Amino acid sequence: MKIAVFSSKPYDRRYFETYNKDYNYELSFFDTNLNAQTSNLTQDFDVVCVFVNDQLGKEVIKALANNGVKLIALRCAGFNNVDLEAAEQYGIKVTRVPAYSPQAVAEHALALILTLNRKTHKAYNRVKEGNFSLDNLIGFNVYNKTVGVIGTGKIGQAFCKIMLGLGCKVLAYDVTPQGALEEAGVTYVTLEELYKGSDIISLHCPLLPATQHLINDKSIAQMKTQVMIINTSRGGLINTEDVVKNLKDRKVGYLGIDVYEQEENVFFEDKSEQIIEDDTLLKLISFPNVLITSHQAFLTSEALTEISKTVFSNIYEFVNNQSLTNEVKQ
Report the side by side order of strands in the sheet with 200-203: 187-188, 169-173, 146-150, 200-203, 227-231, 252-257, 290-292
Q: Using CA atoms, how far apart are residues 49 and 246, in angstroms rounded to an integer?
A: 38
Rounded Cα gap, residues 286 and 271, in angstroms? 16
224 Cβ contact list (under 8 Å, min separation 6): 196, 197, 198, 199
Residue 210 DSSP class: T
Which contacts of 240-245 are long-range, i.e. CB under 8 A and separated by 24 or more positions?
Answer: 240/280, 240/284, 241/280, 242/213, 242/215, 242/216, 242/217, 243/215, 244/280, 244/283, 244/284, 245/217
Using DSSP's 3-state secondary structure scheme, residue 270 falls into coil
Residues assigned a catalytic role: 234, 263, 295
